Amino acid sequence: MKIGQREIGHEQSCFIIAEAGSNHNRDFANAKKLIDVAVEAGADAVKFQIFSAEAIYSKKTPMASYLKDKKLAKEGESLWDIIKRIEIPRQWTPDLMAYCRQKGIIFLSTPFDLNAVDELEAAGVAAYKVASFEITHLPMLKKISATGKPIVLSTGMASLEDIEIALAAIKAGGSSEVALLHCAIAYPPKYEDINLRAMDTMRQAFGLPVGFSDHTMGHVTDVAAVARGACIIEKHFTLSRQQEGPDHPFSLEPGELKAMVEAIRQTEKLLGSPLKQHTAAENELYRIARRSLVAAVNIPVGTVIREEMLAVKRPGFGIPVRHMEIVIGRTSRRDIEEDDILTWEMI
């Protein structure tokens, strides 16, 4: 698939989405700073979220335990109140997109209601990211699909059946370019709950590009996911984990985001080619440090060569050691000095 001019797939460089989410704290200057951080880190895209409390939660929804345990809810706040407090002002979208164009980074956003799809479409968003929680929101999936834009679908908490139903809704809407993101829903999740091998299962089951949306701290999981074949990585980041808001505590700070991007790019270089052969960088030592057949003693011309006349030494550009049995019993064509590197022309 393709987002903007960026090719995405398992033969391409990993597409890195820096997830700003709601970490702007409803401050437009902060939102722009987050874009700057994503650019400085080398991310391919920066992503925000468009939601409203009225469209996403019933006011009777119980509080999520992690928000209570980490004291991320203010005194007397409900879950609905928290979401209301961190909504992005929707009029920001065109301005943030323009700022991203100016900075040379792809703008993405996750819609959480049907109106948000209309707003993003009007602004000219390049692709849609669907959050794990929305995989069962089939009307929204169909509406997004009808735009014809590429879709990146997170699958946290989902079974293969959930994914199959969601993909059927997307197909019914008309879109054909879809990538799946494996995800573990917890903030942050434990390593033992990540199950990166599920990416293999998803790739085999659906034949689509597969990546990973991460909520762990640090970047070891993201590097491991790329090594496992993830072609997209999505990671939350913030200007500071000390800021107030529910997503800051499990987000990377600017230097950490940059370190993650660098580690992923290094990992891609490490993965390299599937061919098992010596590389151009190894050419010199391939010749010098491997072993070949060397004269153990002076061998006069016309001498029938015996095994004790041969040594196995470096360098490696003489007759290969595996041909020792061919050399034994041959006659020297010229005088060979001790430590001469044997070649076929000598026998």
Q: What is the pLDDT of residues 230-262, one digit of tens each?
A: 999 999 999 999 998 899 999 999 999 999 999
- pLDDT score of 64: 86
Q: How confident is the model at residue 337 (pLDDT cuts 50, 70, 90)?
A: very high
Q: Which long-range contacts (CB under 8 A, 24 or more apart) does 262-267 make?
A: 262/42, 263/219, 263/222, 263/223, 264/14, 264/16, 264/219, 264/222, 264/223, 264/226, 264/233, 265/13, 265/42, 267/223, 267/226, 267/227
Across residues 26-42, what is the average pLDDT? 97
Question: Terminal CA-to-CA distance of the chain, rounded, Å?
Answer: 60
Range from 74-88, 102-116, 157-171, 290-304 carrying the lowest mean pLDDT: 74-88
Residue-averaged pLDDT of the chain: 95
Whether 174 has a pLDDT exceeding 90, the answer reads: no
- pTM of this structure: 0.90
- pLDDT score of 90: 92
Q: How confident is the model at residue 75 (pLDDT cuts 50, 70, 90)?
A: confident
Phi, psi of 243 (to 5 degrees): -70, 160
Q: Is 329 exposed, middle or buried (0-12, 13-18, 19+ CB in 10 A)?
A: exposed
- pLDDT score of 74: 82
Query: Measured in whole angstroms, how far is the alpha carbon of residue 117 from the centre of its chain?
Result: 26
pLDDT in tens, 101-155: 999 999 999 999 999 999 999 999 999 999 999 999 999 999 999 999 999 999 9
- pLDDT score of 302: 98
**Distance in angstroms (rounded) separating the CA atoms of residues 257 and 75:** 32
Range from 7-11, 17-21, 164-168, 221-225 carrying the lowest mean pLDDT: 7-11
Across residues 194-198, what is the average pLDDT? 98
**Distance in angstroms (rounded) separating the CA atoms of residues 4 and 2:** 6
Other beta carbons within 10 Å of 89? 12
Q: How confident is the model at residue 209 (pLDDT cuts 50, 70, 90)?
A: very high
Across residues 81-96, what is the average pLDDT? 93
The angle subtended at Cα 102 by Cα 96 and Cα 103, nearest 5°, is 90
Which residues of the chain form CATH 3.90.1210.10? Answer: 280-346
Q: How confident is the model at residue 192 (pLDDT cuts 50, 70, 90)?
A: very high
What fold characterizes domain 280-346? Answer: Type Iii Antifreeze Protein Isoform Hplc 12 (3.90.1210)
Q: Is residue 109 within 8 Å of residue 273, measured between CB atoms?
A: no
Q: How confident is the model at residue 65 (pLDDT cuts 50, 70, 90)?
A: confident
- In sequence order, the β-bridge partners of residue 167 are none
- pLDDT score of 71: 74
Q: How confident is the model at residue 202 (pLDDT cuts 50, 70, 90)?
A: very high
- pLDDT score of 92: 96
Whether 69 has a pLDDT exceeding 80, the answer reads: no
- pLDDT score of 96: 98
User: Residues with Cβ < 8 Å from 217, sequence gap 6 or more?
Assistant: 188, 250
Whether 88 has a pLDDT exceeding 80, the answer reads: yes
- In sequence order, the β-bridge partners of residue 236 are 19
Other beta carbons within 10 Å of 263? 16
What fold characterizes domain 2-52+87-271? Answer: TIM Barrel (3.20.20)
- pLDDT score of 67: 84
The DSSP output letter for 341 is B
- pLDDT score of 166: 98
Across residues 190-218, what is the average pLDDT? 97
Which residues of the chain form CATH 3.20.20.70? Answer: 2-52+87-271
Across residues 197-212, what is the average pLDDT? 98
Whether 72 has a pLDDT exceeding 80, the answer reads: no
